[in-house]
Structure 1
Amino acid sequence: TLTEGRFGVTDVVALADNDDREILRLAAALESQSEHPIARGIVQRAKELSIPIEGVTGFRNITGQGALARIGDAEIGVVGPTYLAQQGVDIDHARVAGLTSQSKTVVFLLRNGHPLGAIALADIVRPESRSAIAKLKEMGIQCMMLTGDNRTVAKSVADELSLDDYFAEVLPADKADKIREVKARGLTVAMVGDGVNDAPALVASDLGIAVGAGTNVAIESADVVLVRSDPRDVAAILGLSRATYRKMVQNLWWATGYNTVAIPLAAGLTAGLGFFLSPAVGAVFMAASTVIVAVNAKLLERSTNRADSFGRA
């Protein structure tokens, strides 16, 4: 959501006697069955190098950890470090460690459970994310990031955007728990997401905001759907919500105060003092009350225009 979501392959590390093209060939064959941004990045790199992408069988996704499938007689996997740790696979390779320390996302290629190599990818923080976070903080809203990326990548993004806090290496099944953890601090939580993995967290939050270009599951789970895939719209919609609430309070106070004075006058309570309203004048005052409330509500359009133009000059 904060990044462009267009991962590009920056490095390929072949282990043992394998070569880079073989690593990409197997990884691209598997990832051609997935719609994940990392998968698209690997497939795109294979196409750029004119590496043929063959078919696979038995494809299955491991939520938040990677994917597995069969190519020929071998089971091939493209997985993250969490999966390796769960399987007890340790890769002691200086170059792989160096890529991880560079804030890159590293996935590993396995064949029958044995590591063949690693692929490093990098994503880019959206320029509009900076202005969106700055605006939200200006509004007094704490900004936190919830991601499945490793801590090094998460910290790099959090530092670049000056986030108040971040949670890294969070599995999809645990995202909702993190939302509840933040709510337990006494905070009202709005969650912004665009993927299937974000759906439980969107439901668990006080306000779920889905990006319009996201998955159907995320959209169905959200309270608000943003038409554009632009994080600045989050600040815009929250600003518009605050303006709407202010208008509602203003109109309630006006209607209450106006009627507190006008109804006794219309009822003739001041007739003994020689002051009374004719039916015609009373009708005018009654209409004026409605018109004033309507005009005040109409002024909300100015807030709508400001929200729509935020950050787009």
Structure 2
Amino acid sequence: MVIEDDYDSEYRFCDRPLEPLQSLDRSGRVLYVGSFSKTMLPILRIGFLVAPASLQPALRSAKQLTDWHSGFPTQAALARFIDEGLLARHVRKTTREYAARHELIVATLERDFADWLRPVPSAAGLKCMSLQRVDTDRTDEALALARAAREGARNSPARVIAMLSVRQALTHAARGDVGDCERLLADAERAIDRADGEETPAWATYFDQAEYCAQVAASYRLLGRHRATDRWLGQALTLQPDERSRDRATCLIWHAGSVLNLGEVERACSLVGQAAPDIKAARSARVLTRLTNLHSKLMQHRTEPAVEALGEQVRGLLAQTP
């Protein structure tokens, strides 16, 4: 028997709500439970359970044994509210409102807290989560947090272990601890290799193969290992979905910087050109800051034809307002 607790599927901001597992059940093996605490009011204290016919008599008996005092007037009013289509209209309206709030919170985090926090992409639910960035001026604090998080997650799914191992590796890379960084990256690789065979909590699903490759590249970038950075960023870009404009723009700018450090000026310019559509779509102040820093380095090679040709395009990108 599977108990499906569908607690936030009504609020999905980028696409239609996902169909519940219960709608696919043809064998009477899924119990579908939920409440109206998020869609309506927590004070209602009303939930629901959709059960297979074979279990309904037993569930009715259990209900009568444990609780004789259901709020019948409130339930009747809510049932009428649903029957008249008012709940569906309410959910559509609140979805638009919560989507706007979600967008505002994420935009504020990216604009005002980008040096400390990295929002985790999410498309559903009444929550936003952010990860602490490695702060090169506070690496002792960052390392203590990373170690504590990884130690507390020893029995977590493999994807979570991989994510936290890379997080600690990034902190060591920022400190120049090469041995510790490489040891943790090896741990992360072993964990990510078995992650697809294990269930992953929803909040960690963003750490897919593309994100893993990008974070490994970021570690090597901090260590100044440009060949390894080039290789891992190439893998990340191959795997990165088109809709992740901000992540793709960041990877392409980092990639351009890494090959520039290898002396490949023309290739660096080509990568910036490839990044232009994603930079425009992302409308991110942090991405534009990265582009500004890279452009300053490219201007050291201003006599190169590729740099001269790229100049006007970069100025146009930097002129846009996030």
State whether TM-score is above 0.5: no
**TM-score, normalising length: structure 1:** 0.26
Structure having the higher strand fraction is: 1
**TM-score, normalising length: structure 2:** 0.26
Structure having the higher helix fraction is: 2
